[in-house]
Structures are given as C-alpha cells and as structure tokens.
Amino acid sequence: MITWQAGKIVEKKQWATDLYSIKIDADPLPFKAGQFTNIGIEREDEMIYRPYSLVNSPDDALLEVHFNTVKDGRFSPLLAELGVNAPISVANRAGGLLTLDQVPETRTELWFCATATGIGPFLSILNTADIWQRFDKVVVCYATKTAADMAYRDDLNRLLIQHPTQFRFAPFITRETADGAIHSRFTTYLESGALEDLVDIAFDVDSSHIMLCGSSVMITDMTRLLEQKGLRRHSRQQPGHIAIEKYF
C-alpha cells in the first residue's frame, strides 16, 4: 500500500501544447537519481495516481516532474489543470532500475536514449557529480516530435559546454526539420550505423551500458537492434547492457 505525503506545486512551466514540468514542495523523499515515484491527486474521496520519474537530482530541495497530457487519459489532464499552490500528493517511496548503481563496474561508456518525457530520469542522473567522475563518455540520444517538444534542451547544451570531451548530445526531431537536430528517429540512425558515426563511439559488449526510457515502440526497436550487436537486457538477477523503463 502506498503511503502518501502532502505536497504543494510551487512552480509550473508549459513547454508546448500538452507538455509541462512542475516543481513540488514536499518532505524530503529518499531516492536515487533516475528513479520514479507515484504522484497522486485526491478526487471525491479517491486517490488517483500514476508513476512519474523525478527530474531533479536527490540533493535538490524540490521534486520535479516532466509530463505530457494524454488525450482521454484519467490522470495526466487533471495534473495539467493544477496550478501553483495546488495541493498534490507524493508517495513516500521511489523505485526503478535506471540508476548508476545498476551499471556493472567495468563499463566506461553510458548511453541514454529517450523519447519525449523519457528524458526526465536521465536529467536527474546528468545533474549528479557521480556520472562525470565514473564514465569516460556519456551519450544522450533524445527524440521528440517537434522542436517545441524538446524540453530541457538548454540544460543539455550547457552540459556540452561543461563536459566537452566526455559528453555527446544527439537531438532527433521526427515530425519537422529544425536547426541543430536530426530529422529522423534514432532507431533508424542506429540501424544504418550512422548513430555510432555521429557520436564517434561504437557499441561494445565490454564497455557500453545503455538506458532506454519512453515509448514501448522505441524500447522494442532499440532492444532488438542492440541485441543484434551482442548486447543483452539488464536485470537485477542477470546483469546485462540494456536497462529499460517503459512509460506506455
């Protein structure tokens, strides 16, 4: 059973139609960068809730969630209606395997591949010191439908300046052409070999670890293509190379 704590929305940002981030003031929630928790809204004596990844890093005072609204969805349209000062409930536990402690010690190259709001857990990890101390190379492949949907792009560009030799950022926009982004899916790029050329890093069974977050279509396609390169799904019981979190 979920134990809830009371929180309050203290900031809200709309990035595009149906795309938001909110910051929540609540009691400290112990979590590892990359994990998710449940967010709840009380309606007519019922708690409606869904899991959401935390965008903030564990040291930050406020919790941050990045979300899109799903047409006819039960929860996300309610969440989008809430404004600053609205009460919101936060579960008192976090979970999920997109965390650095799940990456086998020998890996030196870490790939994050996200569709849309799936960038959230990776931002949390990218904003910790651990990742930059531990990995030689960090690659972010981030795909959205439109340029306006590419939330947090400035933060990712800032990381490029801070970590010019370690960090590679590959933005993909699928439904329009946009400056500084590739008009394609990253799965198409991976399949043709262009993705590895673009970032100048090859997938390798000894050194690569890949985290995938977002739509099930992307996760299925990426997993199939990476398995063809000899990489295996990761689980707590069977350490591998590909850790996933499916949003839908």
Ligand X SMILES: Cc1cc2nc3c(=O)[nH]c(=O)nc-3n(C[C@H](O)[C@H](O)[C@H](O)COP(=O)(O)OP(=O)(O)OC[C@H]3O[C@@H](n4cnc5c(N)ncnc54)[C@H](O)[C@@H]3O)c2cc1C
Residues binding ligand X (CB under 6 A): 36, 50-53, 65-68, 70, 73-76, 117, 120, 245, 247-248
Question: Closest residue (Cβ) to ligand X?
Answer: 73
Compute the least distance from the CB of residue 67 to ligand X, in Å.
3
Compute the least distance from the CB of residue 41 to ligand X, in Å.
10
Closer CB to ligand X, 129 or 248, in the complex = 248
Closer CB to ligand X, 52 or 189, in the complex = 52
Residues in CB range of 74: below 8 A, 6 or more apart: 48
- Output the DSSP codes for 150-205: -TTHHHHHHHHHHSTTTEEEEEEESSS--TTSBSS-HHHHHHHTHHHHHHT----T
Compute the least distance from the CB of residue 89 to ligand X, in Å.
14
Residues in CB range of 134: below 8 A, 6 or more apart: 100
Compute the least distance from the CB of residue 169 to ligand X, in Å.
20
Residue 230 DSSP SS3: coil
Closer CB to ligand X, 118 or 171, in the complex = 118
The burial of 87, by beta-carbon neighbours within 10 Å (0-12 exposed, 13-18 middle, 19 or more buried), is given as exposed
Closer CB to ligand X, 31 or 75, in the complex = 75
Closer CB to ligand X, 109 or 245, in the complex = 245
Compute the least distance from the CB of residue 136 to ligand X, in Å.
28
What are the two backbone dihedrals, phi and then psi, of residue 184, each rounded to the nearest 5 degrees?
-170, 175
